[in-house]
Amino acid sequence: MKIVCNKSDLVKTTNIVMKAVSTKTTMPILESILIEAYNDSIKFTANDMEMGIETMLSGIIDEEGTVLVEAKMFSEFVRKMPSEDIVLENNAEQVILRSGKSEIKLATKNKDEFPVLPEIIRSNRISVSQFTLREMIRQTIHSISTNESSKLMTGELFEIDGNELKITSLDGFRISIRKVELKENYPSFKVVIPGKTLNDIMKIINGGIEDEVNIYFDEKHVLFEFDETIVMSRLIEGEYYKIDQMLSGDYETKMVINKSVLFGCLDRSSLLIKDAAKNPVFLDIKDNNAKLEMQSALGSMDEDIDIVKEGPDILIGFNPKFLMDDLRVIDDEEISVYFINSKAPFFIKNDDGSYIYLIVPVNPDAFRRDI
């Protein structure tokens, strides 16, 4: 094999497939990139057995062939090559990179041992703009769990119902939901996609409003197809948690508040907090005022925020990190917060319900409030 390509293109292509290169494995072959040059196409592939990525490289093929190379070393050398023109070729035992006056030789691996990506039946499909998909992931991914013992919570639920796509994530303390209308109607189905896959998708796609992502599902896999790239991932098996009862529209108190003012107040309080789970903040909501109070071993804070309130007064405590995470991804400048009582989850949602964020409060009886 011998190809000639642009360094910037090669760096971009390599960075994409590196997201599917295994970093912790007992199978060293998964730490590799497969490079194939045939029929005017140069394809890069990586596969860690949970997620696989194929993407195309622009370049000139002088000689067709296939080579398997250790990914991390290859990526580092590509990034540090001195010239924008790179020649990549291989012999029986080495892949050779030439750029300017530099020549690097790296050992190759047995390409026959590299696992091919599984074939996915492209029956269930939806199409969504890259911008919309990236935003929906960005606005929900913070609520997935990092605890592998709760596997379903490490992924996000994708639900299709007619022309509506709904994405849900939860970690046991909070729930994030985003909904969007699609251009077409599709058969109803549900799948749980790993959070790692969605994080990588969010970083790879260009985010163009007019650029589409085709998403295909079968019983065990999901495939994202966009630009010159395919990302395939295993689905998380199991029935997702039933959360409809927690999302009841019933509430006693509604607060309308400026998002930036609330975030700034919480951000200041976080300077006094080492462990947000042990040092909650309290909102004491009375009339058209919300008093934010907190105390820790480092100090205390007391700040008033102007609000518009409907319903009875309420005092509620919560982990400030959870609310700050939600506020970071909400684009509206004013938000509506709904409370049932001081011990029930409270939620933020907009008028059309395109986003809902729910947070479980702390038990106020469990914390002294000598502020």
Q: How far apart are CA 220 and CA 212, in angstroms?
A: 23
Residues 264 and 326 in one domain: yes
Residues 137 and 149 in one domain: yes
pLDDT band, very low/low/confident/very high, at 370 (cuts 50, 70, 90): very low
246-277: per-residue pLDDT in tens? 787 789 999 999 999 999 999 999 888 877 66
Q: Of the candidates 44, 59, 50, which has an alpha carbon nearest to the alpha carbon of residue 230?
A: 44
Residues 88 and 133 in one domain: no
Residues 207 and 314 in one domain: no
- Count Cβ atoms below 10 Å from residue 112 Cβ, excluding itself: 8
Residues 253 and 297 in one domain: yes
Residues 130 and 235 in one domain: yes
Residues 22 and 77 in one domain: yes
Q: Which domain holds residue 292?
A: 245-366
Mean pLDDT of 231-255: 90
- Which of the pair, 132 or 248, is modelled with greater confidence? 132
Residues 107 and 178 in one domain: no
Q: How far apart are CA 349 and CA 326, in angstroms?
A: 11
Residues 165 and 182 in one domain: yes
Residues 176 and 164 in one domain: yes
Residues 361 and 250 in one domain: yes
Determine, yes or no, domain membership for 144. yes
Q: Strand order of the sheet with strand 334-339?
A: 155-170, 174-194, 355-359, 346-349, 334-339, 253-258, 308-310
Determine, yes or no, domain membership for 285. yes
Residue 371 above 90 pLDDT? no
Residues 36 and 137 in one domain: no
Predicted confidence at residue 366, as pLDDT, reads 61
Determine, yes or no, domain membership for 88. yes
Determine, yes or no, domain membership for 118. no
Q: How far is CA 294 from CA 132, 197, 347, 362, in A?
A: 37, 37, 21, 13
pLDDT band, very low/low/confident/very high, at 25 (cuts 50, 70, 90): confident
Determine, yes or no, domain membership for 346. yes
Of the residues 208, 225, 241, which one is the last residue of a structural domain? 241
Determine, yes or no, domain membership for 371. no
Q: Which letter, b or e, does each residue of 60-81 get, where b requires 16 or more Cβ atoms within 10 Å of its Cβ? A: ebeeeebbbbbbeebbebbeeb
Total domains in the fold of the chain:
3
Read off the DSSP letter of residue 148.
Answer: T
pLDDT band, very low/low/confident/very high, at 279 (cuts 50, 70, 90): confident
CATH number of residue 274's parent domain: 3.10.150.10
Residues belonging to the chain = 371
